[in-house]
Structure 1
């Protein structure tokens, strides 16, 4: 958010006619809730420079001046919003998630955030929950953020698809493979329309779909996605995707009882690695082929 409100300046004193010897009126310090709002505007302004630790310490002090949450929901909402965002910005997800959840819960009953702030903060909560592998929390937050982004014309279709991709990833990690597959299929369709069917921007979602379908036991679909991943990665010279696609194809073939084909994939990976001259790639490919030989005994 651009700009921020400065502390309320001291009120200029006006001497009233007919009075003498009186003291000038004292300025009113902003209430804890008003100061919390100022802090929110400050920390959300990308042009501001401030100390995270000092601001967190001020929040602790301001918290003591707040009434109950029931009496001052906005104050508690502002407090938790600022505290959650500062921990998020500092890279401390364990400390960020709780205040973020509290701020959004308060906002549901007593709105103090606008729509854009609410959507952005919900996405940040999802990101932090994902970092902590709290899959159910991440799924719920990504769903809400996705719905908000869908309603915002300023959010591009590519950005919306990116949020859906994170949602599908968390669903997969929560072992909700069918839901993840459905969403990833939607993401793939969007990507194909935006970038074309052979774009390397599709590699991640194609990989995710291969994993979804594999876990669902749809091995034919998994094979199609892995073949497509390999073709795109080879054409675009994405070595990490090439190596992993060949490895996954080898594993899939082995598990389907196609041992000769599995060895062909692993050998092909090793040959490509040797041509690259990359010692790390060569070592990884050799290890995978050795493991396969051991399993074939």
Structure 2
């Protein structure tokens, strides 16, 4: 047991380093992985505990998941951590949610949709508890909703974003910057479900909040999307009005990139509307596949 205190301190130090500094850069990840692998190699000699070994698998898995070629190792390590967590809990609430989310993301990258949904559902279930920190709940629900939207599970994504917004309004009623991305998500979800009246409602709220927060890019984009939506409904004059408002908002900002984006967006919408009239058809969307 003499080796254990030194082992335990080394593991505590590397975990503290990860929690404080993250692992955003390749050199960081390389150093952390080397240290964790060295600790794993000495774990038997140090008589490491279930928690120690589980945390080593957990952190090696998280770090490996950020590496371009590390998804195989990440899936193996995090799957082991998940089994060990079921045997005897060693992760905090936040770590359990993170584990489920990353496993879901990894399975998506491998094309294992059923497994991905299992872990995304688990992440949502883990935060379905009044005692859970509301920030953690909002973040987890928003993350799962994002993946479900990308998987074309629009109804499920909508439900999760609504739950996240409810939590946000309940706990942070004046924090518009926290609610704004949820309103943007709700606009996307309802649009893909064909609930265009709701989409319009949410987009108006997006623009309203963007003005309050002086977020010029979101304001310009929100007005542009209202224009696109109006074009798709055959409301040409209304659409052009929104596109003009979008350009005016960009010009007020004085941001050349934003002005260029608004000008290009308006021309693109007008051009595609002209094509629609010629073809006498109205496709589901005139922009990107999964978003307005």
Give the TM-score normalised by the residue count of structure 2.
0.72
Say which is worse superposed, 86-95 or 183-192, in terms of deviation: 86-95
SS of 1:44's equivalent in the other structure is helix
* CA shift in 2, pair 1:201/1:79, >3 Å: closer
Higher relative contact order (CA 8 A, sep 6+): 2
Q: 1:161 aligns with which of 138, 153, 157?
A: 138
Tell me what 1:114 maps to: 90
Gaps of 5+ in 2: 22-27, 275-292
Tell me what 1:230 maps to: 207
* CA shift in 2, pair 1:44/1:148, >3 Å: farther
Tell me what 1:251 maps to: 228
Where in structure 2 are the equivalents of 1:191-230 lying within 5 Å? 191-196=168-173, 199-230=176-207
Are positions 1:284 and 2:279 aligned together? no
Superimposed CA distance per residue, residues 45-64 of structure 1 (whole angstroms, 9 cap, x where no aligned partner): 35999941432442574599
SS of 1:96's equivalent in the other structure is helix
Tell me what 2:32 maps to: 52
Q: Distance in 1 between matches of 2:269 and 2:20?
A: 56
Q: Distance in 1 between matches of 2:264 and 2:182?
A: 27
Q: Distance in 2 between matches of 1:90 and 1:43?
A: 18
Q: Distance in 2 between matches of 1:229 and 1:82?
A: 37
Say which is worse superposed, 91-100 or 171-180, in terms of deviation: 91-100
Q: Distance in 1 between matches of 2:79 and 2:233?
A: 45
Gaps of 5+ in 1: 1-7, 10-28, 66-71
* CA shift in 2, pair 1:123/1:284, >3 Å: same
Report the CA distance between 1:215 and its aligned residue.
0.5
Q: Distance in 1 between matches of 2:243 and 2:106?
A: 32
SS of 1:114's equivalent in the other structure is coil
Report the count of equivalent residues.
258
Superimposed CA distance per residue, residues 17-68 of structure 1 (whole angstroms, 9 cap, x where no aligned partner): xxxxxxxxxxxx66xxx99877654433359999414324425745999xxx
Q: 1:99 aligns with which of 52, 77, 86?
A: 77
Tell me what 2:283 maps to: none
* CA shift in 2, pair 1:258/1:48, >3 Å: closer
Report the CA distance between 1:216 and its aligned residue.
0.6
Tell me what 1:171 maps to: 148
Asked whether the equivalents of residues 97 and 129 of structure 1 are also in contact (C-alpha less than 8 Å), the reply is no
Are positions 1:126 and 2:83 aligned together? no
Where in structure 2 are the equivalents of 1:56-71 lying within 5 Å? 56-58=36-38, 61=41
Report the CA distance between 1:148 and its aligned residue.
3.3
Asked whether the equivalents of residues 199 and 232 of structure 1 are also in contact (C-alpha less than 8 Å), the reply is yes
Computed over aligned residues only, the root mean square deviation of the Cα atoms, in angstroms, reads 3.8
> Radius of gyration: which is bigger?
1
Q: Distance in 1 between matches of 2:147 and 2:121?
A: 11
Query: When you count helix as a share of all residues, which structure comes out higher?
Result: 2
Give the TM-score normalised by the residue count of structure 1.
0.71
Superimposed CA distance per residue, residues 199-240 of structure 1 (whole angstroms, 9 cap, x where no aligned partner): 332111111111111111111111111111111212321112
